[in-house]
Amino acid sequence: MHIVDLRSDTLTQPTEAMRRAMAEAEVGDDVFGEDPTVRRLEEMAADRTGKEAALFVSSGTMANLVSELTHCRRGDEMILGDQAHIFYYEQGGSAAVGGIHPRILPNLPDGRLDPDAIEAAVRPDDVHFPITRLIVLENTHNRCGGAPLDAAYMGDVGKVAQKHGLKIHVDGARIFNAAIALGVEAKQLLTDADSVSFCLSKGLCAPVGSLVCGSKDFIDGARRNRKLLGGGMRQAGVLAAAGIVALTEMVDRLVEDHANARKLAEGLAGMAELRIDPLGVRTNILYFELDIPSLDAPAFTQRLAGEGVRMLPTGPRQIRAVAHHPLTSADMDAALDAFRRVLAG
């Protein structure tokens, strides 16, 4: 059976060009700073994000943790959303490893944090309080339907940060999806950010790896923290080589994933038992609610899998689907047909 697996864009596989580049990569010991392919990837990442320097790390989770550790000291506070990946899905690593205190604000449905609420959460200088150090944003916002945050909003948060001497970190695991959806360069979304992490191993199809980007001083600190976490890699050029292909060949095609997600959403919106607003689907992620009293999301996705389509239950009645390479428009049709069969019982 042909399987259409929409559980996550982390399922993407390295392309033929990546596999060739990996086999031929020139390598060295990256802890000595001697891997030319890693260096080239880091320079490209810094350039694409408009930052001075970049650091190659093993995952998005490590990229975020390294960034938080570099911005904050133990006991400092960071402001972030209650739906943030960092808050929700990273084992509370910033608190567990870094002693960083999370100050949680409600995410608006479009992934933003209200800039006034951010400002109101900044701690006054008082011996009772932790020191507010960092604001964390997520772009695109995974749990808020893959919503992109635009440059105007980033500027609004930038003003709050500047006024109070705070740093901004962007969890930009899917920052290129945001850039493509908004029709801008990623760096235009990041002028107000002190640091950004982004992933090569999601829609961009590389097998492993994320980048942290920021000022040269920040990246020097991040490099120390990566080593602290055991994340110093040796001949990592074999992985970076795939990342270079990801950045040069796989960014522009994300538009296809966005079109496929929208097509799927429009098809699902026509089914009486499902709740979804297709206009809210701006990138490659979509969520919908089941309105079937007898069937919850885990049971529904199990039946769907029996019809060759895999999706992720993310709540008792909520399901997530993520469009990604190499799934096609025809795969979305196949997925919609499978839904019709499951709903028909």
Q: Does 68 bind ligand TLP (CB under 6 A)?
A: no
Q: Which is nearer to ligand TLP, 218 or 287 (CB)?
A: 287
| Residue 314 in the binding site for ligand TLP (CB under 6 A) | no
61 binds ligand TLP (CB under 6 A): yes
C-alpha dist (Å) from residue 182 to 32, 134, 171, 254, 308: 39, 26, 17, 12, 33
∠ CA 252-325-206 to the nearest 5 degrees? 80
Q: Is 318 in the site for ligand TLP (CB under 6 A)?
A: no
What is the DSSP-derived secondary structure letter of residue 296?
A: -
**Helix H or strand E encompassing 104:** strand 101-105
Nearest in space to 115 (alpha carbons), one of 94, 130, 137? 137
Number of residues that bind ligand TLP (CB under 6 A): 14
Q: What are phi and psi of 134, to 5 degrees?
A: -140, 140
CA distance 206 to 171: 18
Query: Is 8 an interacting residue with respect to ligand TLP (CB under 6 A)?
Result: yes
149 lines the binding site for ligand TLP (CB under 6 A): no
CA angle 172, 109, 50 (to 5 degrees): 20
In the bound state with ligand TLP, the residue whose beta carbon lies nearer, of 60 and 148, is 60
Nearest distance in Å: CB 171, ligand TLP: 5
Write the CB contacts of 84 (distance below 8 Å, at least 6 apart in sequence): 107, 136, 138, 143, 171
Residue 199 interacts with ligand TLP (CB under 6 A): yes or no: yes
Q: What minimum distance in Å lies between the beta carbon of 87 and ligand TLP? A: 11
Residue range at the interface with ligand TLP (CB under 6 A); choices 57-65, 232-240, 262-270, 325-333: 57-65
Q: How near is the Cβ of 242 to ligand TLP at its closest, in Å?
A: 14
Stretch that binds ligand TLP, among 59-67, 146-154, 177-185, 330-338 (CB under 6 A): 59-67
Question: H/E element holding 5?
Answer: strand 4-5
Choose which of 85, 112, 226, 310 interacts with ligand TLP (CB under 6 A).
Answer: 85
What are the residues whose beta carbons fall under 8 Å from the beta carbon of 184, sequence distance 6 or more?
Answer: 151
Find the shortest distance in angstroms from Cβ 137 to ligand TLP.
11
- From candidates 136, 161, 173, 295, binder to ligand TLP by CB under 6 A: 173
> Closest separation between CB of residue 63 and ligand TLP, Å?
8
The answer to whether residue 42 forms part of the interface with ligand TLP (CB under 6 A) is: no
Residues 202-231 contacting ligand TLP, CB under 6 A = 210
Q: Is 89 in the site for ligand TLP (CB under 6 A)?
A: yes
Return phi, psi of residue 259, to 5°: -65, -40
Binding residue for ligand TLP (CB under 6 A) from 12, 37, 94, 142?
142
Q: Which stretch binds ligand TLP (CB under 6 A): 29-37, 56-64, 211-219, 257-265?
A: 56-64
Structure tokens at 326: 């190499």
In sequence order, the 6+-apart residues with CB closer than 8 A to the CB of 246 are: 18, 200, 204, 205, 206
Of 55-63, 73-81, 154-162, 183-191, the window that binds ligand TLP (rule: CB under 6 A) is: 55-63
Region of residue 308 (phi > 0: left; psi between -120 and 50: alpha; otherwise: beta): left
Outline where the chain has alpha helix (H): 16-24, 36-49, 60-71, 85-88, 93-98, 115-121, 151-164, 175-182, 216-228, 237-249, 254-269, 297-306, 329-343
CB-nearest residue to ligand TLP: 60
For binding to ligand TLP (CB under 6 A), which residues are involved? 8, 10, 59-61, 85, 89, 138, 142, 171, 173, 199, 201, 210
